[in-house]
A and B are shown apart, each in its own frame.
Chain A
């Protein structure tokens, strides 16, 4: 269910590396826990993000949560589509519902993240 070629954080973000660009979003488990997403606040291109630090926030009808960056780097793009249609995060968290694209400054940080298998184990008892 969670794509195998992605890496995962304990805060339920995923990251997918495409060449020298890392795409970041939240997991299917996270969107299920949040319920209907109604608002996403993302950084502007050019902003710096740091591994394990908040880079934005997400509001569902019920609650608000911080978004944590899986990697350190510079924001190249924020997904305009989730601004105008936040429900994309619920309907397609791993593709259309991505949040930001980042140019990572240290790809070795990926090694500290969970594999899909480890993440599946991590959320099993939640």
Chain B
């Protein structure tokens, strides 16, 4: 069965730029423009522009909004200052995950940004959680929201002339309502690349003006449009989890190393019992990063071995453009999670030696503190 792919408001812009379009989560999305390594390096050293209009945006309003969010999410929404954002997780009752998300506290509303592939599932799950919060209004704004991300060390320099906002006062993981390229926008200092950068939420009608404006302003300093392929290598180097890989309905956040986004001291919430137990006992397996010592490239779902024993599996793997090495993430028993542990990755029926290493693989040297 083939269903029609959705197009973002920037579809024609991508085609004009020569992007290779691929189906992704029901959308036709640019996977690369000029080359994944080149695009990756542009973000690490200069700036890159991403179309993330496929992502989901839910608005939460009402007197009980915080109480609802603290019931349905693992992080503590009550700790958010006005304009602040936090990484959070949507748990099932057994502590595994419906999705991960960024929650923004904004004047008169909360905004929850979720993965494109999970929009319907998340909405249905969260609507179930609304029972007992009659005052809360949960609205799917995904269709009315386009999202453009500007990432990389030169992002502030590129964006500053195009917005009314004072960027030097916009801290990492904060957002404000402002104008970008003349269009009303929610401007957030967030991202999924391990670099400083911004995410610009605008109406679909304004997406082209913002995209073209940022592209034109950034070109002289080496900004490039960046596709999904480099988005994946960038997030992997920064050890940011990807739903369906590092996290899923088969994994819990404690073993994924996301315990910092699970706040047990905030009172009861979905999955609390399971997650409290997991935190207390310590996870049986842990997500680790590894570097390949032999030649080859690890890929998701390949098996991990320790001295002939099958011990786990790869969740993501690639060739790291920054390190020039093959790297991966995967689950192993907790006793094999220490950096320096030698493991093996089964790549096409051949065992390749790998070394558990400290993560993230890449960390930017300076930037706005989180």
Contact = CB atoms under 8 A, between A and B. Distances in A.
B233 interface: yes
A64 B37 contact: no
Interface string B293-318: 00111010000000000000000001
B29 to A, nearest CB: 13
B296 A35 contact: no
Contact of B318 (A33, A61, A90): A61
B348 interface: yes
Contact of A35 (B32, B297, B326): B32
A38 B32 contact: no
Interface in A38-53: 38-39, 41
Contact of B296 (A59, A62, A63, A90): A59
A26 B86 CA distance: 46
A59 B296 CA distance: 8
Nearest to B348: A57
Contacts, number: 44
A36 interface: yes
Interface string A66-108: 0000000000000000000000001000000000000000000
A59 B32 contact: no
Contacts of A62: 31, 36, 229, 232, 318
A56 to B, nearest CB: 10
A83 B321 CA distance: 17
Interface of B: 20, 31-32, 35-37, 40, 229, 232-233, 295-297, 299, 318-319, 321, 326, 348
Given A35-B31, A38-B319, A62-B232, 13 more contacts: A32-B20, A35-B229, A36-B37, A39-B297, A41-B296, A59-B296, A59-B297, A59-B319, A61-B36, A61-B37, A61-B229, A61-B321, A64-B299
Interface of A: 32-33, 35-36, 38-39, 41, 57, 59-64, 90
For the complex of A and B, 6 pairs with smallest distance between CB atoms: A38-B319, A59-B297, A36-B37, A61-B36, A62-B229, A35-B36
